Amino acid sequence: MEFVFVVPRARLFSECAPHGVAVFGDEWSQDAFETCVREDGFFVERAYAEEAPHLKQVIPYTLVARGQEFLLLQRTKGGGESRLHDKLSLGVGGHVNPVDAIDTNAGAGARRLRAPLPAATRREVLEEELIVEGETRLRTVGLLNDDTNAVGAVHVGLVQVLELLDGDARVREVDQLRGEFVTREELLARHRSGANFETWSSLLVPELDRLLRTEGLTQAAGRDVAPGPSHGSRATTARS
């Protein structure tokens, strides 16, 4: 039985829900989002969450940028989520699990973290999906929401950009995932030609310039993309 991290829709979107990308600072309050995560977030059985649109499963969704290029991923039939097979994706991410909320740095008195998203980002990017080398900078830039379909209605993405400052990144499990760095112009060309992007990535491609211009919340550069403990468990990737 899998448990995933959720926030109540009414607390996250008290007045109206955005469609597509909502950039922090310009269109949405990062402080309000982080407060909602800390004060209102909790774990619930995934099977229930998938059928509960009054809850939003929070998915850290991280784009990897190397200069003017972006890492474009394609999940093969060896991957776990059949609905994502062969789709193109700009984001690395998956569900936040209870293991991400355990502060193992506290030793025998391990405590529960009220904000498990940084640890989930670290687990997904560094330990499960990619091999990242060199100095990095992680910027939190906004939210991604799509209530037009049943999958999107129960998820919300935290959009982040991982900038490779002097290193590289490659796919860890090549039997499940393919990856290549492509330019923004190529991404736009593929998007216009009807390439098989997953829903969230199709919403992100036209917004790449805007996402790169925003300053966002920047984590300290270094080998680790986000603070938090190292975990060995695997979460099932699920995106709309």
46-50, 75-79, 125-129, 230-234 — which one is most confidently predicted on average? 46-50
Q: Which structure tokens are listed for 109?
A: 């008195």
Question: For the domain that residue 14 is a member of, what is the CATH number?
Answer: 3.90.79.10
Domain membership of residue 71 (yes or no) is yes
Domain membership of residue 172 (yes or no) is yes
| Residue 164 structural domain | 3-218
Taking residues 40-62, report their average pLDDT.
Answer: 97
Structural contact between residues 70 and 169, judged by C-beta atoms closer than 8 angstroms: no
pTM: 0.85
Q: Does the pLDDT value for residue 70 go beyond 90?
A: yes
Per-residue confidence band for 8, with pLDDT thresholds at 50, 70 and 90: very high
Which 3-state string (H, E, C) describes 24-80?
A: ECCCECHHHHHHHHHHHCEEEEHHHHCCCCCEEEEEEEEEEEECCEEEEEEECCCCC
pLDDT at 27: 81
Domain membership of residue 134 (yes or no) is yes
Domain membership of residue 205 (yes or no) is yes
Taking residues 125-133, report their average pLDDT.
Answer: 94
Domain membership of residue 88 (yes or no) is yes
Domain membership of residue 231 (yes or no) is no
Q: Does the pLDDT value for residue 228 go beyond 70?
A: no
Taking residues 119-128, report their average pLDDT.
Answer: 94
Number of domains in the chain: 1
Domain membership of residue 162 (yes or no) is yes
Helix, strand, or coil (residue 143): strand
Domain membership of residue 114 (yes or no) is yes
